[in-house]
Amino acid sequence: MAVGSKGAGKSLVRASLAIHEPPVGDSTMPGGIIRTFAFDFNPSQLSLSRRANWVSTPAQIERDGSLPEFMGVEAMEMSVEIFLDSSGDPTGNAVLKKVESLLECCEVTASSVAAKQPSPPWVLFQWGSFSTARFIGYVSAVEASYTVFGTTGVPIRATCRLQLHEIPGKTPNQNPTSGALTAQRVHRVVAGDSLQSLAWREYGNAGAWRAIAEANGIDNPGQLPTGVELVLPAAEEVRG
């Protein structure tokens, strides 16, 4: 059963899936944010997997078998189930829109086609403390099941199963607890925020505002609308 967000108080930490444009060139940082997917309920569980590749070549002269050779580690995979419910508004299409936004994670973005680097969006999943798996990756599969419908036939309840694959960086920026890439955070702009103040608060260096601007495709740093969600790159990726 999913963990509900209602009645849990201000202490509840919501899981989030930030959907970004893929990067341009050979960058390993996501492009500008497309949207942030809001979880109606936190997942009840996360399934993580990672594989180490070993190769063993049989040899006739070795009775007990040859010594296996380590070939490397594959990227981490995560499966997560998302429960959606809008039964409080049986005539609305909120569930339908959210399912569509998840399915679009497997479609090529228009901006990547224009840049001649066709790619689906990159995503940033995060939830909980730094001991919880959180990483940059791509959505390899989405399975949506509509389970309850309103009187007009519009779905008002659904379960979506996502398969996420980690996108490794060029440098070993890894969370030693989870093995995932060092997490980037998503910050919602409030009144009084500026790129410089965010950079100082996050990295202790106001000059790092350029990294935030680049990660979010900001051309005019003087215009930072309240309510906009910004990706704050990991400290290891900021040169200042």
Q: What is the Cα–Cα distance from 69 to 96, expressed in whole angstroms?
A: 49
Q: pLDDT value at position 142?
A: 96
Distances from the Cα of 170 to the Cα of 13, 29, 166, angstroms: 30, 10, 13
Q: What is the Cα–Cα distance from 166 to 28, expressed in whole angstroms?
A: 11
Percentage of the residues of the chain whose pLDDT score is greater than 90:
25
Distances from the Cα of 1 to the Cα of 42, 44, 81, 154, angstroms: 10, 6, 10, 23
Banded model confidence at residue 23, pLDDT cuts 50, 70, 90: confident
Percentage of the residues of the chain whose pLDDT score is greater than 70:
79
Q: What is the Cα–Cα distance from 17 to 102, expressed in whole angstroms?
A: 10
Q: pLDDT value at position 61?
A: 64
Q: What is the pLDDT of residues 86-119, one digit of tens each?
A: 988 888 889 999 999 999 999 999 999 998 999 9
Asked whether residue 182 carries a pLDDT value surpassing 60, the answer given is: no
Banded model confidence at residue 62, pLDDT cuts 50, 70, 90: low
- What mean pLDDT do residues 215-222 have? 79
Q: What is the Cα–Cα distance from 161 to 148, expressed in whole angstroms?
A: 17
Q: Which domains does the chain have, with CATH numbers?
A: 1-52+70-181 (no CATH), 184-240 (3.10.350.10)
Q: pLDDT value at position 211?
A: 84
Q: pLDDT value at position 91?
A: 84
Q: pLDDT value at position 50?
A: 87
Banded model confidence at residue 132, pLDDT cuts 50, 70, 90: low
Give Dmax over CA atoms of the chain in angstroms. 74
DSSP-based three-state secondary structure for 48 = strand
Q: pLDDT value at position 162?
A: 94
Q: pLDDT value at position 133?
A: 62
Q: How far is CA 137 from its chain centroid?
A: 6
Q: Looking at this protein, which amino acid is placed at residue 51? A: R
Query: Are 196 and 202 spatial neighbours (Cβ–Cβ below 8 Å)?
Result: no
